[in-house]
Amino acid sequence: MTATVTIFHNVVWSRHKGVVFSALHNLSMAGTIRYSMVQIADTETDRIGFSDVDYSFHRYPMEKLFDGCYEDVPVWKMIGRLTWAVMRAKSDLIVLPGYHRPEYWAMLAACIVTRKRRAVFCDSTGRDKPRRLMTSIPKRIFFSLCDGYFGFGERSREYLASLGARADRIFVPCQAAALPRSFSRERAYDQRLAKRRENEPVFLYVGRLSEEKGIDTLLAAFAQVRTTVPLATLRIVGTGPMREALQASVDALGVRGTVHFLGSLQDEPLSNEYFGATCLVLPSYSEPWGLVVNEALSHGCPVAVSDRCGCVPELVVPGQTGFSFAAGDVGALRDTMLSAMRQFADTGATARQCMDTIARFDPRSAAANIARGCATMLVGTPGNKPASGVEQLRQ
């Protein structure tokens, strides 16, 4: 007899979750746990225009509850549909998509009423956003009512533990990048060498053009870099509400013609940007992880990231795969960009270090951590009574 798990996720847009869930589905074929995936909607408001919804990254059976944008669904309708989905699920464990929306609290209540075990995805860290008492108390309550937790990395683990989550029920890392179909790990090293043959000073940003990404810091730092390295260029990939303001800043800083806004890029065009850059710069004020760092390292491209990024402990090895700097500190970022040009001048050695570091952060490894967490939570229920269908997991 097999155990059953239902995993809820907010949007199909997330390619990275698609590849992890696909790997989890493949793992389940040889195991004693069966997974049902429920996607709530196609996309979210702040993802519209950034990239299309691509179902080809979701190679597993799924149920989708709503077409279109998540925010377009009335809250009362969302609560009703999700509550009913939990109530009718014939599962031993429910994995909730988060804890910051009223519908997620309704799902938690439905789990309690139907006596289903429950876990939750956590995409926050203590450094990502300042902690406030009025938000910390509800989080503590929510986490205390869950049986397990899935996080991005060590900073997620620390954050969950600080809010009362049991250390032995926190499972990380459960995150991986969705690389383009055209990407080949076997060819990536040679492609990196070919694109960086001239060793030109090219800095790259990939992400939304929004305030929390700290692009204003990057532009100011880049203008100072240009005084030392006049041939340096900055390439900005992405769309968002700050595009016009950022273009105005470029003019005000006197770096027009050296900063290139490329719009939204995906797949091979984006790979070419990673292959050709001196380093990726991620200057975010708020960044739970930073999947673009995974993408960059996979292409052999080192990184310069702010200390707010959740991926720093795992992925940023100073002088080998990148550097970190204090978020919002223009001078620190300027010095970091200049250091990156010197430290990563040996393209081949740097590419090897980047690729070796990121190798264990692949979809299969992330899926294995989710599977390990589900197995741990399924062995026994309160009162030491085994949950239905999970007796074999004790062996």
Domain parsing of the chain, residue ranges: 3-176+362-394, 185-358
Contact status, residue 173 vs residue 15, Cβ threshold 8 Å:
no
Distance from C-alpha of 374 to C-alpha of 328, rounded to nearest angstrom: 39
The whole-number mean pLDDT for each consecutive block of 10 residues of the chain, a chain of 395 residues, reads 92 96 93 94 85 91 96 97 96 96 98 97 80 75 96 94 94 94 93 95 96 97 97 96 96 96 94 98 96 98 97 97 97 98 97 97 96 90 42 41
DSSP class per residue in 354-394: HHHHHTT-SHHHHHHHHHHHHHHHHS--TTSPPPTT-GGGG
Q: CATH class for domain 3-176+362-394?
A: alpha beta
pLDDT confidence of residue 123: 87
Contact status, residue 228 vs residue 337, Cβ threshold 8 Å:
no
Contact status, residue 195 vs residue 277, Cβ threshold 8 Å:
no
Tokens of 72: 């377009």
Buried b (16+ CB within 10 A) or exposed e, 288-310: bbbbbbbbbbbbbbbbbbbbbbb
pLDDT confidence of residue 210: 94
Q: Is there a common fold for 3-176+362-394 and 185-358?
A: yes
User: What is each CA distance from 211 to 70, 140, 304, in whole angstroms?
Assistant: 22, 29, 18
Tokens of 227: 């005084």
Phi/psi at 53 (nearest 5 deg)?
-75, 125
β-strand 303-306 against 279-282: which pairing, if any? Answer: parallel
Phi/psi at 302 (nearest 5 deg)?
-70, 175
pLDDT confidence of residue 127: 77
pLDDT confidence of residue 384: 39
pLDDT confidence of residue 134: 60
H helix runs in the chain, sequence order: 15-28, 75-88, 102-113, 133-144, 154-162, 185-195, 215-228, 243-253, 267-276, 291-298, 312-315, 330-343, 347-358, 363-378
Distance from C-alpha of 38 to C-alpha of 383, rounded to nearest angstrom: 29
pLDDT confidence of residue 132: 63
Distance from C-alpha of 243 to C-alpha of 249, rounded to nearest angstrom: 10
Query: Tokens 């975010």 belong to which residue?
Result: 284
pLDDT confidence of residue 133: 54
- pTM for the structure as a whole: 0.92
What number of CA atoms fall less than 13 Å from residue 138's CA on the CB side? 12
pLDDT confidence of residue 50: 73
As separate numbers, helices (DSSP H) first and strands (DSSP E) second, the chain gives 14, 13
pLDDT confidence of residue 84: 97
Tokens of 356: 């070796």
The CATH topology of domain 185-358 is: Rossmann fold (3.40.50)
